[in-house]
Amino acid sequence: MPHHSEQALRESESRYRKLFQNMTSGFAYCKMIFNEESQPVDFIYVEVNSAFERSTGLKDVVGKKVSELIPGLNESNPELLEIYGRVALTGKPETFETEVSALGLHFSVSAYSLKDGYFGAVFDDITARKRAEAAVEQYKQRLEKLVDERTEALRNSNRFLDSVIENIPNMIFVKDAKDLRFARFNKAGEELLGFSRSELIGKNDYDFFPKTEADFFTSKDRAVLAGGQILDIPEEQIRTRLKGERILHTKKIPILGKSNEPEYLLGISEDITDKLQLEENRRQLVQAQLAQEEAQKGIVVRDEFLSIASHELKTPLTSLYMQLQLVARFFKDPQKVDREKAGFLLGKSLKACEQLNLMLNELLDMTRIRAGKLVLNRRETDFRVALTETVLQISEEIAKSGSSVEVIAEEPVMGQWDPNRILQVVSNLLSNALKYGEGKPIVVSLKRDSAANSVRLQVKDHGIGIAPDVQKIIFERFERGVSVDKISGLGLGLYIVRMIVEAHSGRVWVESDAEVGGALFTVELPLSGNH
């Protein structure tokens, strides 16, 4: 029997050894060393398994102190000795995690005691987990730092944006897209409208403005939100609390949310009331300056005209006065009258009267034109006849000028015109050509344009020509091609021509090369009076 028990004991020990050596967890059985004050100061390895060696990397540890195997452990891990000493003294098991910094490893430890002064420790290497946890913690800290930095950057950005919005001189407001209630206002908006933010936020336009204005604002808001695009309102009136009626230039912009649908409406309004008033004042000032310049110009033109008129009227009046004095002298003694000489003097007097009559008619026509009272008596008129009659009427003037006048009018040209005014147009153009023609040939042509249903009259001279700057003004009142001391006349002939032609719905223009000389005046008139 005893032999059998010893065998069983050996078999049991063998199984224990096999189990001990094949444990996946490390195991160490140690004897604790205490100092005189019963404080743990070291321990000796009594027995370890293979997992211990694999986990710790320590070899041949049995019988050796831990201070020999892991120098500095007591200093780097004092809590480890305290725990093991407490278990060895009290016999109460403890479970804990520790880092053996000298080995660079982390362990999960279960310590117990079966005998006073001794302890056993079962441990698992949790270094990988601890490193993973450390990495996770490190990543978490970096992430938290990044979030903090982003949050602070966002706060700074928001503070900057708030500062910008708050200090922009234009009114800025935000409305929620659902019911168009105000969600935000800046200081300029408060000052413009005369309401505080606390009064504005959460309200809509109908709480502050007349219904017509509120309807207008709301309709524009809905249009922006429906269209999804910016809306520019150049001018809109608004009634403010303290500043009365103001005029705003407003831009409204939809602010889209995550669903790409409008969540808010942003409005930016500039008070342009003072700007518009300034522009109006500037416009009125410009108009006043232009009116003053025009008045000054009118004074200059008037003075020039009076000078020309006095000069031109004085010539025939002086001649008439002198001729009539001579005639009166002749008739003091009827027995001695030289009838031939008296007839000559009376003829010159009549010529002077004709000149005066022509000038007075020009002045009268100008007055009628200026008053808008130039009346046309239209009737069926043959332009060719009017042209021929005019040439005959001024034949003496033609002969006196030294110029020849060639008329090219191959066929009658009938139209609805005022015959007297047509005669006046032809006469003024011919007289002008004779004045400036320098005694050279003058060609007058008349041609009907059936396609355009119009007639074209052209008067071509070969005289001094007209400078380009003069061509631009030659059809204006009192304008002349040369100075008054060279050519007589009031400077109204071509102006009256233009007014008569335009009254017939026609047009007149001149072409000339001042260097080559000569001028071509063209009149174009519609044949009917319906143009």
Phi then psi for 508, rounded to 5 degrees? Answer: -135, 145
Q: What is the pLDDT along the chain (531 residues), one digit of tens a residue?
A: 455 577 766 666 666 667 677 788 999 999 999 999 989 999 999 999 999 998 899 999 999 999 999 988 888 888 999 999 999 999 999 999 999 888 889 999 999 998 999 999 999 999 988 889 888 999 999 999 999 899 888 888 888 888 888 888 999 999 999 999 998 999 998 999 999 989 999 999 999 899 999 999 999 999 999 988 899 999 999 989 888 999 999 999 999 988 888 999 999 999 999 999 999 999 999 998 888 887 777 666 555 555 545 444 545 555 555 556 666 666 666 666 566 666 666 666 666 565 556 556 655 655 665 666 677 788 899 999 989 988 888 888 888 889 999 999 989 999 999 888 888 888 889 988 998 888 899 999 999 988 888 999 999 999 888 888 888 888 887 655 544 444 555 567 788 888 888 988 999 999 998 777 899 999 999 988 554
Q: Are 466 and 474 in contact (CB under 8 A)?
A: yes
Q: Are 434 and 442 in contact (CB under 8 A)?
A: yes
SS3 414: strand
Edge-first strand listing for the sheet containing 94-100: 40-48, 26-34, 118-125, 105-112, 94-100
In CATH terms, the fold of domain 374-526 is Heat Shock Protein 90 (3.30.565)
Burial state string for 26-37 with b = 16 or more CB within 10 A and e = fewer than 16? bbbbbebbeeee
Which token pair is 283?
A: 């416009």
> Could you tell me the residue ranges of all domains in the chain?
2-125, 168-271, 277-364, 374-526
Return the closest-CA partner of residue 312 out of 352, 252, 274.
352
User: Is 2-125's fold the same as 168-271's?
Assistant: yes
Strands 442-449 and 414-417, by their bridges, are unpaired
Burial state string for 157-176 with b = 16 or more CB within 10 A and e = fewer than 16? eeeeeeeebeeeebbbbbbb
Q: Write down the pLDDT at residue 300.
A: 62
Amino acid identity at 35: N
C-alpha–C-alpha distance, residues 180 and 421, integer Å: 70
Q: Are 435 and 393 in contact (CB under 8 A)?
A: no
In CATH terms, the fold of domain 168-271 is Beta-Lactamase (3.30.450)
Q: Are 415 and 453 in contact (CB under 8 A)?
A: no
Q: Write down the pLDDT at residue 517.
A: 84
Which token pair is 107?
A: 């362990």
Q: Where are the beta strands (DSSP E) in 18-176?
A: 26-34, 40-48, 94-100, 105-112, 118-125, 171-176
Q: Are 223 and 210 in contact (CB under 8 A)?
A: no
Q: Are 482 and 471 in contact (CB under 8 A)?
A: no
- CB atoms under 10 Å from CB of 206, counted, come to 14
Return the closest-CA partner of residue 499 out of 490, 491, 508, 488.
508
Q: Are 463 and 433 in contact (CB under 8 A)?
A: yes
CATH of 277-364 among 1.10.287.130, 3.40.50.12780, 1.10.1070.11, 3.40.50.970: 1.10.287.130
Concatenating the DSSP letter of every residue in 326-392 gives: HHHHHTTSGGG--HHHHHHHHHHHHHHHHHHHHHHHHHHHHHHHHTT------EEEEHHHHHHHHHH
C-alpha–C-alpha distance, residues 7 and 13, integer Å: 10
Q: Are 32 and 117 in contact (CB under 8 A)?
A: yes
Q: Are 385 and 407 in contact (CB under 8 A)?
A: no
Q: Are 519 and 429 in contact (CB under 8 A)?
A: no
C-alpha–C-alpha distance, residues 44 and 31, integer Å: 5
Which token pair is 16?
A: 């224990």
Which token pair is 144?
A: 């938290």
pTM to 2 decimal places: 0.42
Q: Write down the pLDDT at residue 246.
A: 93
User: Yes or no: is domain 2-125 CATH 1.20.1250.20?
Assistant: no
Return the closest-CA partner of residue 350 out of 361, 340, 338, 342.
342
Q: Write down the pLDDT at residue 24.
A: 85
Distances (CA, A) of 379 to 28, 389, 497, 528: 140, 17, 19, 10
Edge-first strand listing for the sheet containing 507-512: 405-408, 442-449, 454-461, 519-526, 507-512
